Amino acid sequence: MHTTLRQMRVFTTVARHLNYTRAAQELHLSQPAVSMQVKQLEESVGLPLFEHAGKKIQLTEVGREMSLYVRTIFQTFEEMEEVLDAMKGLDTGHLNIAVASTVNYFAPRLLAAFSRQYPGIDLSLDVTNRERLMGLLKNNEIDIVLMGLPPEDIELVYEPFMDNPLVVIAPPGHPLQHERRIPVQRLADEVFIMREAGSGTRLAMERYFAKQSIVISTGMQMTRNEAIKQAVRAGMGLGVVSSHTIELELETGRLVILDIEDFPIQRHWYMVYRKNKRLSPAAKAFRDFVMSEAQRIKQEPV
């Protein structure tokens, strides 16, 4: 099989967009030129890489396998460039970081501090939900992820770098606001605003209440912590969130933390990457920085 880097670059761009027009725009090529490169690659492989589903295209089984190998090839080239730059003594590199939405309340401060120490390293930040984080890790499309409890069905390296306590929040004036050591069984009488199914916060919450043999009433389901906080403020129910996400609301009196027995639920934030991934010099610098400086940065006044 004879292929060129150009063909592989075009193929992986089309595979990412599943659209020839958008791929052509990103590559600054005409659509016929993109189609021709893909056709030549398919002729070299001897099997189709894409198939049409109505007006859309999707990868064939061969295309999916090809996509994994091509992605690995380009990642290897990027790692090689960064290693060679490091050997030249250059303080450069590119780093792709993805964080869970909860971690994003702190991540910008962390990345800003890292950039001040390593100004030559170019950072990209993707803030997303747990499902997409798992997809990025599974497909080896990201350098490092900062998240809650890592998935168990992917071979990963993960290290806790900061506590992430979960607390029960309520609007000011809630009947339980001034009570102390509230038995957790009292929560069975309340309605909870929930995160989406599969989120780390919801998983921890469901495990906790199942362990206590408590069935809670659920109200609306939200995909963002901001939405949960707004719903709780509006009196639509209680919420369980990371204490790191409500510092401003506590200072301004917009929300209160209920003093529930056995709370907070103690969790951690983790630094996560694929077990078989060779960290670039930039990624290694970020890992070392987070492990040594994250806790100190979190305690600094905003």
Q: What is d(CA 241, CA 204) in angstroms, rounded to the nearest whole number?
A: 10
What is the residue-wise DSSP string for 107-172? HHHHHHHHHHH-TTEEEEEEEE-HHHHHHHHHTT--SEEEESSPPSSS-EEEEEEEE--EEEEE-T
Q: Where are the alpha helices (DSSP H) in the chain?
A: 5-17, 20-27, 31-45, 61-87, 107-117, 130-138, 200-211, 225-233, 247-252, 281-299
pLDDT for the residue numbered 181: 93
Query: What's the pLDDT at 87?
Result: 60
Complete edge-to-edge strand list for the sheet that includes strand 191-195: 217-222, 191-195, 238-242, 166-170, 256-257
Per-residue model confidence (pLDDT) at position 86: 65
Q: Which two tokens stand for residue 2?
A: 């004879």
Q: In the prediction, which pLDDT does 300 show?
A: 67
Domains delineated in the chain: 5-67 (1.10.10.10), 91-163+268-299 (3.40.190.10), 166-257 (3.40.190.10)
Pairing state between β 93-100 and 121-128: parallel
Identify the pLDDT of residue 296: 83
User: What does each of the 302 residues of the chain score in pLDDT, given as a tens digit?
Assistant: 788 989 999 999 999 999 999 999 999 999 999 999 999 999 999 999 999 887 789 999 999 999 999 988 888 887 787 777 666 655 677 889 999 888 888 888 899 999 998 888 889 999 988 888 998 998 888 999 999 888 888 899 999 998 889 999 999 999 999 999 999 999 999 999 998 887 888 888 889 999 989 888 888 888 888 899 999 999 999 999 999 889 889 999 999 999 999 899 988 899 999 988 888 888 888 999 999 988 888 776 65
| Residues 19-29 as b or e (16 or more Cβ within 10 Å = b) | ebeebbeebeb
